[in-house]
Structure 1
Amino acid sequence: MGREMVRAFAERGAHVVIASRKLENCEAAAEEVRSEYGVRALPVGFNVSSWDDCDRLVETVYADLGTVDVLVNNAGLSPLYSSLTDVTEALFDKVVALNLRGPFRLMALVGERMAAGDGGSIINIGSIEAIRPTPHALPYAAAKAALHTLSEGFSRAYGPRVRVNTVQAGAFLTDISENWPDGLRQEMEQKVALGRCGAPAEVVGTVLYLATSASSYTTGAVIRVDGGWQ
């Protein structure tokens, strides 16, 4: 979903920062939007699970661009496990660090600067797992539920200049879905009113809405984009 969101923002003239552990992917996406849309694009290699890396990312971005109008926390990790007793402490901590701890730190650092400046919008990509948890993804579900809570709390902490919202995504065909066990996609699609998993581009409209003044009276909200998950 990250690449689709980057392209959508760039197509509308926004300068973008593309950050993830895979710097080469960030560089490729940055070159793509520079050549197609003529915007500035800053690729940064960083690990969202690392507190220090979050600090470094924010310093790098503000040094290069001077300001941030929109922050999208899009990181997601849900490793597979055969049973709940096989969930190790290391796996649990890794899931919480990437899905919750890192976004918390980024919201704190960027939100504080937004609130002291011209304001902005923070958008967290959550999950339907937060309210419809399944046994194969409980650490992930718990972390995303906590992320929803943080969104509401941060909206109060940094309002009225900063809006903070969550896009509660359903089953999308992303990098995570490539590792789904046999039959899981079909099982999920049976729970969806639209009868299919979502394409990454289908989350873009909601993200753009939350990023702009079209959603000027929306904060602390959780917006479901899940195809009608039952």
Structure 2
Amino acid sequence: MTGRFDGRTAIVTGASRGIGLGIAERLVADGARVVITARKQETLDEAVGKLGGAGHALGVAGRADDAEHQDEVIRQALDTFGSVDFLVNNTGINPTYGPMAELDLGAARKIVEVNCIAAVSWIQKACAAWMNANGGAIVNVSSVSSLRPARNIGFYGATKAMLNSITELLALELGPGIRVNGVAPAVVKTRFAAALYEGREEETSQAYPLKRLGVPEDVGGVVAFLLSSDAAWMTGQTVVVDGGGTLMSIVE
């Protein structure tokens, strides 16, 4: 499959590590140039090195929900690589852990802002700058917690359910030239998800039919498929990537 994205450029948000970096690595392996974002330039520079350096990747630091940062990322993508063919909205936050009845509402508003509103803004800007005229493909990174209630991360799951709905609506609005899909991972071994498995990984893994937790590469391969021409007749879908966990009603 190497080379199927030759000449194409992808923006992947929240990609200095974890799932985002796994997605970026797969896209580069398939020939794409990637522009990755995160909060800290130092970690982005390290990630760019892992992706093969300046010929393959560019890191632009900033907050995912900052409109000026979004504009700058898209500008640099166009100036450096000449296009914005793909967008992966991977950034997600969950600064709370516990019952929703005790949720800090200020934190709730921030989660919605980053997980949902920022994703819409990135899509609006990518479409205006490139995709409306040239076509493209978008993937929104959701979560299996968007499909079934998950204790202690319930509001995060609710925002991801909203993101699934956004994916469906934008697929209707932006076709036929732009496809919009999503991916919903279960527990993937990243720093972000550590509270869900740390200290009990073997026990947690045994509850999945495939008997292991996910790794970023598992998600990266599915995202690459959804962006590729192999998925040319798919839009508005959120693909579950969960080691069979939802078969067992596992969402955490």
Is the structural similarity TM-score above 0.5? yes
Matched, 1:51 2:67: yes
Question: What is the correspondence of 1:166-177 to structure 2 with a 5 Å cutoff?
Answer: 166-177=182-193
CA deviation after TM superposition for structure 1 residue 216, in Å: 0.6
**Counterpart check, 1:133 vs 2:170:** no
Distance 1:46 1:196 in 2: 34
Alpha carbons of structure 1 residues 40 and 189: separation in structure 2 relative to 1, 3 Å: closer
**In 1, Cα distance between the equivalents of 2:240 and 2:232?**
18
Say if 2:24 is the partner of 1:6. Answer: yes
Q: Deviations over 1:93-130 (max 9, x none)?
A: 12112211111110111134444322111011110000
Please tell me whether the aligned partners of residues 74 and 84 of structure 2 are also in contact (alpha carbons under 8 angstroms).
Answer: no
Aligned residue among 37, 42, 45 for 1:19: 37
> Do the aligned residues in 2 keep the contact of 1:19 with 1:43 (CA within 8 Å)?
yes
Hey, what does 1:110 align to over in structure 2? 126
Letter aligned with residue 3 of structure 1: L
Letter of the 2:25 partner, please give it: R
State how far apart, in whole Å, the 2-side matches of 1:157 and 1:92 are: 28
Q: Secondary structure at the match of 2:193?
A: helix
State the alpha-carbon separation in 2 of the partners of residues 187 and 49 from structure 1.
36
Please say which of residues 74-83 and 39-48 is displaced more in the overlay: 74-83
Secondary structure of residue in 2 paired with 1:192: coil
- The verdict on how the C-alpha distance between 1:111 and 1:191 changes in structure 2, with shifts beyond 3 A counting, is farther
Structure 1: which amino acid aligns with 2:61?
G
Structure 2 residue matching 1:76: 3-state secondary structure: coil
Using the alignment, how far apart are the partners of 1:180 and 1:33 within structure 2? 28
Aligned to 2:14: none
Deviation for aligned residue 1:155: 1.1
Are the aligned partners of 1:171 and 1:188 in contact in 2 as well (CA < 8 Å)?
Answer: no
Please list, as runs of the form range in 1=range in 2, the aligned pairs for 1:51-200 lying within 5 A after superposition.
51-180=67-196, 185=201, 188-189=204-205, 191-200=207-216
Q: Distance in 1 between matches of 2:55 and 2:80?
A: 14
SS in 2 for 1:135: coil
Q: Deviation of residue 190 (structure 1)?
A: 5.2
Structure with more of its chain in helix, by fraction: 1
| Cα distance change on mapping 1:79 and 1:181 into 2, 3 Å | farther
Give the secondary-structure state (helix, strand or coil) at the position aligned to 1:117.
helix
- Aligned pairs, number: 228
Task: Identify which range, 77-86 or 146-155, moves more after superposition.
Answer: 77-86
Seen in structure 2, the aligned counterparts of structure 1 residues 188 and 144 have a Cα distance that, compared at 3 Å, is farther
**Do the aligned partners of residues 51 and 174 (structure 1) sit closer, same or farther apart at CA in structure 2, a change above 3 Å counting?**
same
- Cα offset, 1:55, TM superposition: 3.0
The 1:80/1:181 distance shift into structure 2, 3 A limit, reads farther
Superposed displacement of residue 222, structure 1: 1.3
Q: Which has the higher mean CA deviation after the structures are superposed, 95-104 or 145-154?
A: 95-104
One-letter amino acid of the counterpart of residue 49, structure 1: D
Alpha-carbon offset, residue 220 of structure 1: 0.6
TM-score, normalised relative to structure 1: 0.89
Aligned residue identity for 2:108? F
How far apart are 1:187 and its partner, in Å?
A: 6.8
Identity of aligned residues (%): 29
Deviations 1:54-95 (A, max 9, x none): 233223322333311111111122234343333111211121
Q: Partner amino acid for 2:105?
A: E
2:190 is matched by which residue type in structure 1? Answer: T
Say whether the 8 Å CA contact 1:54–1:102 is kept in structure 2.
Answer: no
RMSD of the TM alignment (CA)? 2.1
